[in-house]
Amino acid sequence: MILPFRTPADIDAAIPAVSAHLAAGRLLGYPTETVYGLGSLASVPALENLARLKGRQPGKPFLLLVAGRGMAEEWGLVFTASARALSDAFWPGPLTLVLRGGEGKLPDELRGREGGIAVRHTSHQGIERLVRYYIYDRDGLAPPIAPGVVPVPDHHIGGLLSKAPPSITQVDRQLQTPYSDETTIGFERELSPDLGLAVRYIRRQFRQQLQDLDLNHKTRINPQTGGLLDRFGAVTLVASETPGLPPTSNRVPDGRPDLFVNDPFFNEVLRVGNYNDARYGAFEIELRRRLSRRWELTGSYAYSRATGQAEDFQSQLGNDPSTMQLEEGYLSFDQRHVVKLNGVAFLPNDWQLGGSTSWSSGLPYSLVSRFYSLDDADYQQFRTLFGQVVPGDKGIVFEPERRNSRRNGPVLDVNARVSKNLVIGRTTAGLSLEVFNLLNRDELIISSIDPSRNAGFQPTGAATYGGPLQLDATRRFGRRWQIGFQISF
């Protein structure tokens, strides 16, 4: 059976039939944004039939299609910080992530030898709708409609995954080209025949930078507290008082500001416009001791400040109306103090000994809270707020912080280099040995920290469970060595 699957009308007509076809354990040929594929439900019998049809060798798993990160996390798959960043940037699209987790929820036939499952969120409109159309019911039985009623088979077709309408992106009609202007003022003076002084002032203005803002959601003020309203956002399951009936869902506060939809026919309406500005100012002083008596030395000090709304267009800033007041702050490359010292000495027998030392104050980082919540129309949102949720006297509360309001520790870097020039017949050669991070320091440079990732709270305010601390950070390598050899013909 071949079904048309191109236009929205074709997709609407085909999805019920295709869903029933898959629920019966049959296989499906389908299009994606790249190639055509063969697929089935994520069940052991269907996967065995698929492997038999394709002649797939044992131990070579299949790709799992999902309708977003929320669906993958429902299956128990774990997103690391790098996987989360990649999915935000390239999903939906032709990017496959290998994720751990899903034990007991996904068949082992999907798992590779390293223990991961290959996952992709396709951007093909029809296949994405098919994937998100229903939840695969593992036991194949519908919930009982009344006590004592025998459950009926549902052919493994569970409830709808999402009823959210599509999100769209629009471009501001007044969009202009971003630009920057720079002003540099400096002077140099010779203090002595072999000593020079340079002073510079640098000012950069990044104007009309691009950013997208969600125009379809807004926050509301709580008249009792004067803060942002928080009445829903999380869903808890309440056990039924009647034996045999499934639990019912109940909307409870999640400790974060609620989002309210303006137009219920859309989810996010992201408008791209010239909403951001950034500023950078620096004062530099440099002292140079030129080559004299077989050695030279350069020392410098720089004081700088970088502030603005966002570093680049790809950031999540602007996607949540509750963060608008906290976005202005220090940029991620704001580094107040930098001291550098570079020197080289020319020794007898064509030996050279050099080194460089730098000390810099710490870069800023943010305390963030990344989570899924529901707006007033029950549309799921992935949100990033600056601050954290903590238990309060009257329940859970969100403590906001300004973006990049925290600082890493200072960084000290010492490097050394020794080299020797050689003459071999009519050719010249050189040997060099370089040592990077001579002091073997291993500073951890944090970009963001999420202390409440996967943490849950009761509506009364008592913490019930907590997830692992999530860090977006980079650790420096230890001491590194480099040996070089050069020949000039």
pLDDT 10s digits, 150-203: 777 665 556 554 455 677 889 999 999 999 999 999 999 999 888 999 999 999
Higher-scoring residue by pLDDT: 14, 462: 14
Q: Residue type at 459?
A: P
Number of Cβ atoms within 10 Å of the Cβ of 92:
18
Under the phi-then-psi rule, with left for phi > 0, alpha for psi from -120 to 50, and beta for the rest, what region is 462?
Answer: beta
Highest mean pLDDT: which of 198-202, 390-394, 485-489?
A: 198-202
- Residue 206 confidence (pLDDT): 93
- Give the pLDDT of residue 146: 65
d(CA 149, CA 390): 44
Residue 463 pLDDT exceeds 50: no
pLDDT at 203: 96
Write the pLDDT tens digit of every residue in 304-335.
999 998 777 766 676 788 887 778 889 989 99
Tokens representing 125 are 């409109």
Whether the per-residue pLDDT at 71 is higher than 80: the answer is no
333 within 8 A of 231, measured Cβ to Cβ? no
pLDDT tens digits for 85-111? 888 888 888 889 999 887 767 887 888
Q: What is the pLDDT of residue 141?
A: 73
What's the pLDDT score for residue 145?
62
Q: What per-residue confidence (pLDDT) applies to 323?
A: 82
Residues 20-58 as b or e (16 or more Cβ within 10 Å = b):
ebbbeeebbebebeeeeeebbbbbeebbeebbeeeeeee
What pLDDT sits at residue 246? 60
Domains of the chain: 8-131 (3.90.870.10), 168-488 (no CATH)
The mean predicted confidence, pLDDT, of the chain is: 82
Q: Report the percent of the chain where pLDDT is more than 90.
A: 30
Q: DSSP 3-state assignment of 378?
A: coil
Question: Is 76 a residue whose pLDDT tops 90?
Answer: no
Checking if the pLDDT of 365 tops 90, the result is: yes
With a cut of 70, say whether residue 64 has pLDDT above it. yes
Is the pLDDT reported for residue 52 higher than 90? no
> Considering the entire predicted model, what is its pTM?
0.63
Which DSSP symbol is given to 227? Answer: S
- Percent of the chain scoring above 70 in pLDDT: 87
* Predicted local distance difference test score (pLDDT) of residue 155: 55
